[in-house]
Amino acid sequence: MIEKKPIIITVAGKGGVGKTSLSAAIVKILASEFADKKILAIDADPAVGLSTALAINPTSTIDDIRKAIIENVEDGRPKEAIEYLGEARYKIFDAMVETDGFAFIAVGRPESAGCYCKINTYLKEVISLVSNEFDYVIIDGEAGIEQINRRVMEKVTHLILISDTCKKGTEVIKTIKKVADDLVMYEKVGAIINRVRNEALLKFVNTGDIEIISYIKEDDNLNEFDTEGKSILNLPDDSNVIEGARTALRNMGVI
C-alpha cells in the first residue's frame, strides 16, 4: 500500500498584506470541507498572529522544547538533553492545542544567538514526522523571505504567496518564489492578490511567472472582526476573504 502524503500548505508574503488572516481562512475552509480529515495549523510567525486569528492561547511552543534541550546542554547535563531529544516528538504532541476540526501548534520566537544546528535539524525532522500524522497542514510563515525554508518544513506541497496591489508586495512574492525554487521542493505555487480596493489598478499588478489564483476585495467583515478581536473561524462564509481563499484552494486543486 502506498502511503498517502499530507497536503502541506505554506502561506508567505510581505508583512501587512493579510497573510495570517488568509492562513486562518484556509484552516476554516478545510475544517469545514473535510470534517473527517486530520488538520494541523502551524504558526511559524514569531508574532504568533495565527493563534489570535483562530482564538487559541497556546501554553507551549516548539521553541520552548528547543530551549529546554539547550539549557540541559549548557548546564552540563548531556544525558538529560539526549533523553529530552528522544522525547521531543511526544512533547510536540503535548504542546498541540486540540480544537473542533483541527489541531494547532506554534513554533515560537526566533532562535537565540548561538549555533545549535544539530538540535534544530532534529526538531525540523520531528515536525516533519508529526505532519505525517495529518492529512492537511497549514503553515503561516514569518513575513518576508527569511523563514520560507527554516525550522518548520523542508518540503511543502502548495506554496501560496500573498500580496496586495502594491509593487512592494508583488516584488516580495517574486523574491520568495525565486528563493523557494532553489530551497523548497514545492509541487504547486500561486499568488493571491488581497485587499483590492480599486479593480482598475489590477492591470498594473505584475507577479512575474507566478499564476494569480485569486483576487480578494477589501473585506469589511474581516476589518470588523480584526478590530473586535473575533476569531476568523466565525466569519460568514460569504465574506470576501473566505470566498477568495476558497477560490484559491480550488484553483490549486486542494478542494
CA neighbours within 13 Å on the CB side: how many for 66?
A: 27
Q: Which class for 212: exposed (0-12), middle (13-18), buried (19 or more C-beta within 10 A)?
A: middle
Q: What is the pTM of this model?
A: 0.89
φ, ψ for residue 142 (rounded to 5)? Answer: -65, 145
pLDDT of residue 183: 83
Helix (H, G, I), strand (E, B) or coil at 74: helix
pLDDT of residue 92: 83
CATH top-level class for 7-251?
alpha beta
CA 178 to chain CA centroid, Å, is 19
pLDDT of residue 109: 67
Distance CA 214, CA 70 (A): 43
pLDDT of residue 151: 44
The per-residue pLDDT string of the chain (255 residues; one tens digit each, 9 = 90 and over) reads: 456 789 999 999 998 999 999 999 999 999 999 999 999 999 887 777 899 999 998 888 887 877 777 776 666 666 665 666 667 777 888 889 999 899 999 887 655 544 445 555 655 666 777 888 999 999 998 777 665 545 445 678 999 999 999 999 999 999 999 988 888 889 999 999 999 999 999 999 999 999 999 999 999 999 999 999 899 999 999 999 999 999 999 999 999
Q: Which class for 113: exposed (0-12), middle (13-18), buried (19 or more C-beta within 10 A)?
A: exposed
CA 153 to chain CA centroid, Å, is 10
Q: What is the residue extent of each domain of the chain?
A: 7-251
Distance CA 68, CA 58 (A): 17
